[in-house]
Amino acid sequence: ARGGRRGRVCAISMQEQDTKEYTRNERLREEIESPFRKARQFLVPWLIASAALAAFISGTRMLAILSGVTGYDLQETALNLFVDVAAIGVMGFIVVRDKKAEGKSLERIARSGVLAAMRVEVAGETGKSAMLPMKAFRRSQRVTIVAGGPEVVNAAKEMATEGREALTDAGVVVVPVQLRGVSPVPGEKVEAIRSAAGITGEVAVPEGDDAWMSPCLGKAVNPDEWTRWLKDEVEQAEAQGLDPAEGIVLNVERSGFIKKRSVGVPNWKEHAAISKKINSVKYGMPSFG
């Protein structure tokens, strides 16, 4: 009895740890995004149990037929057994697929929640700067994170400086983040990145810690926090054979989610045109954290 009680306590403890893995708001948002998944997760196990019972009955009948018992049709029993087993397999696949999809969705929402609390310092048209959490840009501006080596960070600043008017009008905020421990980018690749970004010649980026900021070019506050958050993105890029030092571009949409990833530094003309079109569409999304 004591062992059974201890087992129940351990099970309850594991359940509590599992529920604490994601917040209530994160789980609620996941349910809003995929309302039919919860319905499937409730119904499919019952269907599997029903199919398993039917398969058990068909299996016992098949054993009886093979043992010489008469009264059952072999072909019909075999067909029923096959259908029941196939149904169990298909519904089991649905359960596993939904569980994996739910985990990925919750992880994405959780990462989005962490990103929402991270801060960016931007300068207004008057020159005064303000530190804002990422969630402050939701529904109004499209944030583009450009992470890479120092050469890419400088190129991102040049890109946003040259395209300042168009990017500001399109509601874009570029946030360069310098990655640590990356290899230097060769000069020819830097020039290729600058050319692809639409940078023409030398761009005079104001020097100083804050002088280069503008309404469309923000500064990542607490770079260590940003670097930790970007670790998964860096590992994913390396797994695909890409060099993070050459630039990782993450477009944070007004929903707070990252829906597009690319490499290098975005072309400011194309980026402004696409962002202006996206931002012109009215958008609504419940905000959780």
Pairing relationship of beta strands 248-252 and 219-220 according to DSSP bridges: unpaired
Please check whether residues 230 and 107 belong to one and the same domain.
Answer: no
Please check whether residues 151 and 255 belong to one and the same domain.
Answer: yes
Cβ-Cβ contacts under 8 Å for 144 (sequence gap 6 or more)? 172, 173, 174, 175, 249, 250, 251, 252, 266, 271
Is 288 within the bounds of a domain? no
Please check whether residues 241 and 167 belong to one and the same domain.
Answer: yes
Is 286 within the bounds of a domain? no
Give the residue from 116, 139, 170 where a domain finishes.
116
Predicted local confidence at residue 209, as pLDDT: 63
Reported confidence tier of residue 176, pLDDT bands at 50, 70, 90: very high
Please check whether residues 225 and 129 belong to one and the same domain.
Answer: yes
Q: Which of 202, 191, 189 is nearest to 162 (CA)?
A: 202
Is 289 within the bounds of a domain? no
pLDDT averaged over the chain?
A: 83
Distance of CA 48 to the CA centre of its chain: 31
Please check whether residues 53 and 142 belong to one and the same domain.
Answer: no
CATH of the domain at 128: 3.40.30
Residue 63: which domain range?
2-116
Is 11 within the bounds of a domain? yes
Reported confidence tier of residue 35, pLDDT bands at 50, 70, 90: confident
In tens, the pLDDT along 128-170 reads: 888 999 998 887 888 999 999 999 999 999 999 999 999 999 9
Q: Which of 94, 99, 196, 175 is nearest to 132 (CA)?
A: 175
Is 284 within the bounds of a domain? no
Number of compact structural domains in the chain: 2
Please check whether residues 154 and 256 belong to one and the same domain.
Answer: yes
Is 90 within the bounds of a domain? yes
In tens, the pLDDT along 80-111 reads: 999 999 999 999 999 999 999 888 888 888 88
Give the residue from 99, 116, 133 where a domain finishes.
116
Please check whether residues 54 and 99 belong to one and the same domain.
Answer: yes
Please check whether residues 260 and 143 belong to one and the same domain.
Answer: yes
Contact 263, 156 (CB under 8 A): no
Contact 176, 223 (CB under 8 A): no
In tens, the pLDDT along 7-24 reads: 433 333 334 434 447 888
Predicted local confidence at residue 120, as pLDDT: 92
Q: Is the pTM of this model over 0.75?
A: no
Predicted local confidence at residue 105, as pLDDT: 85
